[in-house]
């Protein structure tokens, strides 16, 4: 089994204490739903602002949904901020001042288990605990929770139809989810209008959903899967090649056309270059592939950054605002890149020196550079001048992007 050695040696648990005693969490971008977690009910923050209600040394991993944020702690507990109306008991989503959490708040219903990883969609969240059990929370209208029900879940519940599988990772799209098992198989469930379930076209075009978690047919064994609340996905096989499926309106699948793909399709120019992505399953602080709303960023094994899909807001760091249908080497000042993140129309990366750069659309302060309108194709180095308090030898340990907001973990030596 692909992950059997990992399972035996680590138990698929990634809890660790930070090596630094001076870590802080900052956020910037849209805050209209409280997703920045800084306690301020502002529409946006155009500079990084410290999240004072959480100890940055205790944070293992940051996750951003479209309008909410999740904080996975070293002890396996989970805190959340942002809109919580999407987990209401009725089918109506109410976005008002009573439905948002302004500071990171513990999810008490998960206190009986230790979460090892999780994923955020538009309005749903999936969790995996240290026994590889799967939990779901939020909107279920497209069967995206995997429970074979379209009911919303106002508290996390264990997903019984998934209990027979051992999952090492789960990703969430707009209204779908895909899980990677320790055997290298992919299972999917939820919305499938554009092929995001990866199992072929749905027979019922009026209600294209996959109700039951279903194996994605493939001769490949996979080592990773990526999605970030959007309608396209990228999987990596054990030969280090990339396969994409789902919506392709802007070329975000990297297949050279604009046709949606209903099964995993090889990205021809990028074969056998992405075996390092296997490390992400064990340490997902650093992501080597990131998917925005209609663009994709991938780091190859030589630490070079490629982009494809929409560049309408310069989110591919190119000045010409066109679609790139094939992977294009971004070659930003010959930098070595170690991690990427992508929002709706903005992007960011961490280089080999742990420095953070942002580019793309600046609306709502998404780049953290003080601007709140327009686009920026030249990556902005978010060094200490952009932070309110002086930071000596600023090191960015991780970055996560939602629709229009970002969370970062900063080490101050």
Mean pLDDT, residues 209-231: 96
**Pairwise CA distance, residues 317 & 333, whole Å:** 12
* Alpha carbon distance 321, 257 (integer Å): 17
47 within 8 A of 387, measured Cβ to Cβ: yes
Whether the CB-CB separation of 378 and 359 falls below 8 Å is answered with yes
Contact 83, 35 (CB under 8 A): yes
- Tell me the pLDDT band of 21, cut-offs 50, 70 and 90: low
Q: Which domains does the chain have, with CATH numbers?
A: 4-411 (2.130.10.30)
pLDDT tens per residue, range 94-120: 444 457 899 999 999 999 999 999 999
d(CA 31, CA 258): 33
25 band by pLDDT with thresholds 50, 70 and 90: very high
Q: Quickly tell me which residue has 């990427």 as its tokens.
A: 340
- Which structure tokens are listed for 19? 């090596």
Under a CB-based contact definition with an 8 Å cutoff, are residues 38 and 27 in contact? Answer: yes
pLDDT at residue 95 in the model: 43
Backbone angle region of 194, left / alpha / beta, with phi > 0 → left and psi within -120 to 50 → alpha: alpha
Lowest mean pLDDT among 4-8, 105-109, 156-160, 230-234: 4-8
What tokens were used for 201? 């076209």
Residue with tokens 């960023």: 297
Q: Tell me whether strands 44-50 and 186-191 are parallel, antiparallel or unpaired.
A: unpaired
Do 298 and 306 form a contact (C-beta atoms < 8 A)? yes
Q: Supply 137's token pair.
A: 């929370």
DSSP letter (8 states) at residue 19: S
| Among 271, 320, 274, 323, CA closest to 295 | 323
Q: What DSSP letter does each residue of 333-399 carry, written as one string?
A: TT--EEEEEE-SSEEEEEETTS-EEEEEE-GGGTTSSS--SSEEEEEEE--GGGSSS--TT-EEEEE
């Amino acid at each position: 089994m692909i992950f059997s050695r990992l399972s035996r040696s680590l138990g698929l648990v990634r809890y660790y204490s930070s090596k630094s005693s001076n870590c802080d969490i900052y956020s910037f971008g849209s805050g209209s739903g409280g997703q920045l977690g800084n306690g301020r009910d502002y529409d946006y923050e155009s500079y990084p602002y410290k999240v004072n209600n959480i100890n940055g040394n205790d944070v293992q991993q940051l996750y951003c949904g479209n309008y909410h944020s999740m904080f996975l702690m070293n002890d396996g507990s989970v805190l959340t901020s942002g809109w919580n109306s999407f987990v209401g008991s009725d089918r109506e989503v109410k976005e008002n001042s009573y439905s948002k959490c302004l500071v990171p708040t513990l999810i008490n219903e998960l206190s009986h288990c230790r979460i090892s990883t999780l994923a955020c969609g538009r309005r749903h969240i999936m969790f995996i605990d240290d026994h590889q059990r799967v939990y779901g929370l939020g909107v279920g209208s497209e069967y995206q929770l995997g429970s074979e029900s379209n009911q919303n879940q106002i508290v996390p519940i264990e997903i019984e139809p998934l209990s027979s599988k051992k999952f090492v990772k789960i990703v969430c799209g707009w209204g779908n989810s895909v899980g990677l098992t320790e055997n290298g198989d992919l299972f999917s469930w939820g919305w499938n209008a554009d092929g995001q379930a990866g199992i072929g076209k749905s027979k019922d075009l009026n209600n294209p959903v996959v109700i039951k978690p279903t194996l994605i047919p493939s001769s490949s064994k996979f080592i990773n899967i990526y999605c970030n609340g959007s309608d396209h996905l990228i999987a990596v096989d054990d030969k280090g090649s990339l396969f994409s499926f789902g919506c392709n309106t802007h070329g975000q699948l990297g297949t050279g056309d604009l046709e949606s793909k209903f099964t995993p399709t090889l990205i021809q120019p990028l074969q056998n270059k992405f075996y390092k992505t296997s490390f992400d399953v064990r340490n997902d602080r650093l992501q080597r592939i990131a998917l925005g709303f209609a663009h994709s960023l991938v780091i190859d094994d030589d630490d070079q950054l490629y982009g494809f899909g929409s560049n309408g807001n310069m989110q591919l760091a190119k000045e010409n605002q066109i679609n790139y249908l094939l992977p294009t080497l971004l070659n930003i000042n010959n930098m070595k890149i170690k991690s990427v993140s992508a929002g709706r129309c903005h992007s960011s990366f961490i280089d080999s020196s742990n420095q953070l750069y942002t580019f793309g659309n600046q609306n709502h302060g998404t780049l953290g550079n003080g601007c709140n309108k327009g686009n920026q194709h030249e990556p902005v180095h978010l060094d200490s001048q952009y932070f309110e308090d002086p930071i000596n030898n600023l090191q960015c340990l991780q970055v996560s992007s939602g629709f229009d907001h970002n969370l970062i973990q900063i080490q101050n030596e």
